[in-house]
A and B are shown apart, each in its own frame.
Chain A
Amino acid sequence: MLKYALKRLATSLLTIFLVVTLTFFLMQMVPGGPFLGENVNPKITERLLQQYGYDQPVIIQYWRYIKAMFHGDLGTSLVVKSGYSVMDVIWGAFPTSGKLGFIALGVALILGIPLGVFAAMKHGTVFDRVFIFLSSLFVSIPSFIMTILLMLVFASWLKWLPVAYLENWKSYILPISGMAVYPMFHLGRLTRTTMLDVVSQDYIVTARAKGLATPSIMFKHALRNAIIPVVTSLGPTIAGIMTGSFVVEKVFAIDGMGKYFVNSISSRDYPLIMGTTIFYGILLILCNYVVDLLYGVIDPRIKM
């Protein structure tokens, strides 16, 4: 187990390093650059690039960046949050995004998995069919449409909830729904499918024969096996929630990471692109790492 954990750690670190390198060169290859503006004199742009050392060959810039990175310095934002250090921008904005993402993930898990179990229990009934219909529907609606729909219905027409900003508990409902709907139904469907597989197995038949109650069989016996594929999909699900938050944050005018991630790219704010990418990279690789280690805990049959 320890050996496996260390091996996975090494590959994770390598992945992060590759992410850093690839992002650095790809971002420089994309046409355009920082300080370019509709009405900005190209001579000014040139001067500023010089001031920040972006007139140097890319490989030298890369070397400097890596050196500074190992000293914990991710540089200063050039355009999007000019003058702020990238670390400050990230630590200032992530708590908001993290909180939303965490609650959305919680909602998706707490509602999604039981829904899936019930749908499997009531296999073939009206409940199951409605669940399948709804999950097909919501899984196929992209999050940017979902969030705009939510806003139109609950904020603009019904006026039950605020349009934008996080001011009170009410203002959290729409952004979290926007982020949670997809993973909730995704997890629910997955749980249902794996549950249906498991309940046809012999040990469940045995449990039934012993006369155990259905809920007890489902949650105690079947779910333990059925949950493994669900846990596997948690890594990508978290990634989905985090990246889905970009749209949600923009639509609901939330001061989170998503805005910096997107705007840094469109304005070619190189240090901020690197900073946000590395941050998300580490976060997602870490999630996958933890999920991988969790396998062994949930299913002792899996040899690490």
Chain B
Amino acid sequence: MKRIISIMLCALLLLTVMPFAFAEGGENVLTIAMGTKPCLDLHWNAGSTGASLMNMLYEGLYKITENSIELAGATSRDVSEDGMTLTYHLREDALWSDGKPVTAADYVYSMKRLVDPEVSSVYMLDYGQYLLNGSAISNGEKPLDELGVTAIDDYTLEIKLEKPCSYFETMLTYTSFFPLREDCVTFEGEADVRESNWRWAWNAEKHITNGHFILTYCDEEQEIILEKNPYYYGKDEVALDKLDVKLADDANTVLQLFETGAVDLIDSFPSEETERLKAAGYYHSVPSLYTRFLLVNNNAEGLSDPRVRKALSLVIDREFLADGILGGSFIAADSYVGAGFPGATEAADYHTDGGPLFSTTCTDEDIAQAQALMAEAGYPNGEGFPLLTCSYASSPNYDLLFQYLSEIWQENLGITVKLDPMEGAAMTELRDAGKFLITPQGWGPDWLDASNMLSIFVTGNFINAGRYSSEAFDKAYADAMYNYNTEERLNLLHEAEKQLVVEDMGIIPLYHRHAIALYRDSDLSNVKFDADRKVMWADIIVNK
């Protein structure tokens, strides 16, 4: 009897294990979770979740690898003597997911859509301006046909620039410049769809892509499924067969999906859980290229004096802020441009070349110096300094940040600080209108070059809502744009950066973020971040 029971128990055990045994030999399927409605339209997306999916669905002229960028959709490129004309020879084995070849015309259509004033896509003005006649077309001064992007033949693409731009190639890694099939964007009988929204992109039957993956199922509210593109020329190097993306808006729900094993990997979670997740061994991170800083209204009374802005910056203990107050998933900034951008040589990155530009801690001498600067500016012990209102979109991290800042500014500089937390959209409106004294802002690069970090502080740029304006900065930046010698160019960018945060302290850099992936080491292997600090989904191997 005992024997029979033990045999039966063994059989039962086997039965429970069986399904897993079968799953082993099957497909390499990864399940992840992110916020709902990721935008999948190359020209309408402005968010990072949409970008990470589109980088899998599409392939542009260049791709981002673990360490840098390399040609992808093209096999070679020629540059004219003046640097103003780039000719790309496209690869002839690249196919769309319906088997048709990827041609120069698909790139031309995409770039025309980028600058088309009828579409008014998000980056029309900011990225379209680099293409010849781009701005004029966007402003309705020239017809769309005059855009300086032409298909010489099916596999030769010519891009003419509006002005020399030494980092233009890096910019081509951004999704706005990827090829797009015109027949997928237009819906029969629904002319309006094409104009100003991205609804077409959520239609899995219509969506045609040329990258590692194809969109096989899309319910933009609940779940998106990507599968390996059978027409992708490099499909044998794509480790992942299928990516199942569960969509949920509540950060806590996303975390619970991960903790109960319903998803294998997530890249965001409520920040107060950081310590626990680190202790559990789920937390994997690399420093990201993103910088959080304070926009300071450079035209406001008091704040227009660089000495005041320097004093405000000097008394911030950034290490204490990043590690002590915000709980360990941030890195104290010692410059504006963080680590990870290509340097002049392979040996060191841009940040290492430039060295620290200010201290990450705050000593008694720093405080004394800050007080001296305030006195010099005419506000000894903060006397006579106007009320300093800090406006921000309320969030747990910002609430902590500004409580800390208000404390140290009041205590060390003797000024009066008022906190004005508000709702997100209201803050965006105030910021865009320049109606604030101090407000937080962040920037992560769209392309892998320090120039993208600095470009936003050129006089008149809309992100530069504090209206920082420096002739020296603008000149150094423009010179860098026109200089094709890497070392000289980066030196000019270093010069511009020093002007921004050492000479003028036009903004106050605070900290950098981490790019995070939460997963169990037992479940996944080969999880890597690319040079842009995005998880390289296609390479992941699932061992479940």
Contact = CB atoms under 8 A, between A and B. Distances in A.
Interface of A: 30-33, 36-45, 47-48, 51, 76, 80-84, 148, 151-152, 155-156, 159, 162-165, 250-253, 255, 259, 266-268
Contacts of B262: 162-164
Contact of A38 (B120, B126, B256, B428): B428
Interface string B444-464: 000000000000000000110
A155 B256 contact: yes
A253 B253 contact: yes
A251 B252 contact: yes
B161 to A, nearest CB: 20
Contacts of B250: 250-251, 253
Nearest to B223: A165
B122 A41 contact: yes
Contact of B120 (A47, A162, A268): A47
Contacts of B403: none
A30 B426 contact: yes
Interface in B357-402: none
Given A83-B198, A84-B199, A163 B122 contact: no
B46 A37 contact: yes
Nearest to B125: A41
Nearest to A37: B46
B222 interface: yes
B198 A163 contact: no
Interface in B113-139: 117, 120-126
A165 B246 CA distance: 9
Count chain B CB atoms within 10 A of each CB in A39, A155, A250, A268 and give the residue with the most. Answer: A39
A166 to B, nearest CB: 9
Count chain A CB atoms within 10 A of each CB in B125, B196, B427 and give the residue with the most. Answer: B196
Interface of B: 36-37, 44, 46, 117, 120-126, 192-193, 195-200, 219, 221-223, 246-250, 252-253, 256-257, 259-260, 262, 423-430, 432, 462-463
A80 B426 CA distance: 17
A39 B126 CA distance: 10
Given A44-B124, A156-B256, A163-B262, A255 B221 contact: yes
A7 to B, nearest CB: 41
B196 A48 contact: yes
A148 B262 CA distance: 17
A40 B124 CA distance: 10
Contacts of B247: 253
Given A39-B46, A266-B424, A83 B222 contact: no
Contact of A82 (B123, B199, B259, B432): B199
A48 B249 contact: no
Count chain A CB atoms within 10 A of each CB in B124, B192, B252, B428 and give the residue with the most. Answer: B428
Contacts of A83: 192-193, 197-200
A33 to B, nearest CB: 7
Contacts of B424: 32, 266
Contact of B252 (A31, A39, A148, A266): A148
Given A40-B46, A255-B222, A266 B428 contact: no
B198 A37 contact: no
B429 A32 contact: yes
A255 B36 CA distance: 10
A interface majority secondary structure:
loop
Nearest to A50: B120
A40 B126 CA distance: 10
Contacts of A148: 252
Contacts of A43: 125, 462
A220 to B, nearest CB: 47
A54 B223 CA distance: 33
Nearest to B262: A163
A42 B429 CA distance: 9
Nearest to A84: B199
A43 B198 CA distance: 19
Given A32-B423, A44-B124, A82 B249 contact: no
Leading 5 A-B pairs by shortest Cβ distance? A32-B425, A83-B199, A83-B197, A253-B248, A82-B197
A171 B409 CA distance: 51
Contact of A252 (B117, B253, B430): B253
Given A36-B432, A83-B198, A164 B122 contact: no
Contacts of B259: 156
Given A80-B37, A165-B223, 5 more contacts: A30-B426, A32-B427, A37-B122, A156-B256, A164-B262
A51 B260 contact: no
A148 B198 CA distance: 33
A39 B253 contact: no
B229 to A, nearest CB: 26
A238 B362 CA distance: 57
A34 B257 CA distance: 32
A159 B260 contact: yes
A44 B120 contact: yes
Contacts of A45: 432
Contacts of B249: 250, 253, 259
